Amino acid sequence: MEKTLKKSCEECGRTVDTRPTVVDYQGQEIFVFHPVICRACLLKLCERFAVRCANCGGPIPPFTQVGVHPGTDSENRFVHMNPTCSTVGSAFHGYWGKGKLYNSVQIEAC
Ligand SMILES: [Zn+2]
Ligand SMILES: [Zn+2]
């Protein structure tokens, strides 16, 4: 694990001295270790890049794990990585970043 080093916010350059950055976005707590980001910028990014959960319809904020199941259309469908939403047949999971998916991993069929 990384030691607590003073870093600056990737978006605005302000010093961020507490990590993870924690914000409450529409009733969901979001903890972000990477990237280094201040709370104000994180909230802005949530508003900009949150996607809708295909199961519960709630927002999935950026910088969180998501379940992905290829939809019938060309767009991937995202679901929350929680027991309620991730059981709807998601075939992949990944890390939702700034409007795109990182580290998409296929879940072993079982
Ligand atoms: Zn910032
Ligand atoms: Zn959901």
Quote the ligand 2 centre to 57 CA distance (angstroms): 6
User: Which residues, in sequence order, are CB contacts of 55 under 8 Å at separation 6+?
Assistant: 79, 80, 84, 85, 88
User: What is the three-class DSSP state of 18?
Assistant: coil
List beta partners, residue 90. none
| Cα separation values, 25 from 1, 3, 33, 60, 80, Å | 26, 27, 16, 9, 14
Distance 95 CA to ligand 2 centre (A): 15
What local confidence, expressed as pLDDT, does residue 82 receive? 86
Quick one: which ligand is closest to 44's CA?
1
Q: What is the pLDDT of residue 16?
A: 93
Mean pLDDT by 10 residues, the chain (110 residues): 73 92 92 92 95 90 86 71 75 84 63
Global pTM value: 0.77
Surrounding ion ligand 2 within 5 Å at CB are 53, 55-56, 58, 80, 85
Q: What pLDDT score does 54 carry? A: 86
| pLDDT confidence of residue 110 | 47
Q: pLDDT at position 9, please?
A: 96
